[in-house]
Structure 1
């Protein structure tokens, strides 16, 4: 039987992107659970072989406004207590960090655009090494602290905590390696138009950089994910 990958999605255009092909090649049957359309409280957090939590334009600390965040947090707390395979991207990584007891706070600035990571020694020795020197897509205004017992894998000048791992099964990524140039960036630019405008960010350089860096990022990110999946316990 195929392995199951439960994917928690918050907005339609922030999907698995280039990661979907890798997961299907690895034998995973993908089950998207769109937040607000699926009742997270009814899900068994330990049943899926893999859980992937994607990005979204809200903050972990806004559960009073967006109650689904509380349900996601409970699901992740139960799953991560058993160190079951879990991957988080942007908001997903922040939710994971919070479920592990780490703080998540606004940084006071928006890190939006393509830029390379600086890998820590732990990052250089693991799957993130495939991303070395490759500009990745950043799109956030919050950041997580590194949970107790976890390793910081990458930094940027704007954000000192870009990725963490907790053993081989738990990986949180602040940035967006899954961005797929084959789908283009226009849905991101339109979907986040208000945020870009409020931050004074011109979408035109983002569009140009997506074309320039999209293909190398897709290749490097897929290699990263393949290595991470192969090492799961």
Structure 2
């Protein structure tokens, strides 16, 4: 990694923070900054110039959120965020999108985001897609990760599908060598999961055969979080290495 790496993240809900990759990036002496969209008044119009200059960001990480990427009427800053994303990605700069973040990148580039036939909440197994080009990001054949979503993204034009499962086919994609979009939450830590579970209203909207009971999730062993965290760290290293001058 380059010295004095400037990492910026987009945060959409309070308390989520950076998840597991915060410590990883701090170990690399990264300078970390954030745009906290959740702190903006609902009726406030966000100006594009209020966001960082794209040239000043070496790595963008887009976090999850409880809103839909399509809900621009209630969250008008979504429109500005997508405009900024298109400007940033046009420069070929590295970006990681996590859950809502992966949906935002896909949507900003023309991919539809819509309701998935079934909701996913809890620990599920995801598998690597067969016949992925050799130069793409390498994943384990099967891995268990945290899911927390009702919607799914369409793979943007020119992207490669990397991972899938039977409940929600599009689990991870790659664009060029600089963008990785996740539907699941590789950044989840025990502390972040506890914060998610405190939102009773959010948890209550999830039902179905692929929704794990809250009492089981609260007992999640720390070992369950490790593989997803490692995949995310490797993803960060990958996009930075592939886009290094």
The structural deviation recorded for 1:232 is 2.8
Q: Which residue of 2 aligns with 1:206?
A: 217
- Once the two structures are TM-superposed, the CA of residue 23 in structure 1 deviates from its matched residue by 1.8
Q: Alpha carbons of 1:123 and 1:209: their partners in 2 closer, same or farther (altered >3 Å)?
A: farther
**In 2, distance between residues paired with 1:90 and 1:215?**
18
Question: What does 1:10-49 correspond to in 2, within 5 Å?
Answer: 10-37=12-39, 39=46, 41=48, 42-43=50-51, 44-49=53-58
Choose which of 171, 185, 196 in structure 2 pairs with 1:188.
Answer: 196
Find the counterpart in structure 1 of residue 107 from structure 2. 98
- Give the secondary structure class of the aligned counterpart of 2:132: helix
Runs of at least 5 residues in structure 1 that lack an aligned partner in the other structure? none
Aligned length: 230
Aligned equivalent of 1:57: 66
C-alpha distance in structure 1 between counterparts of 2:229 and 2:57, whole Å: 26
TM-superposed deviation, 1:106: 1.2
Once the two structures are TM-superposed, the CA of residue 103 in structure 1 deviates from its matched residue by 0.8
1:122 aligns with 2:99: no
* Shift in CA distance, 9/123, structure 1 to aligned 2, threshold 3 Å: farther
**Structure 2 gaps, min length 5:** 41-45
Q: TM-score, normalised by structure 1?
A: 0.88
What is the aligned-residue RMSD (CA, Å)? 2.2
The Cα shift of 1:125 comes to: 6.2
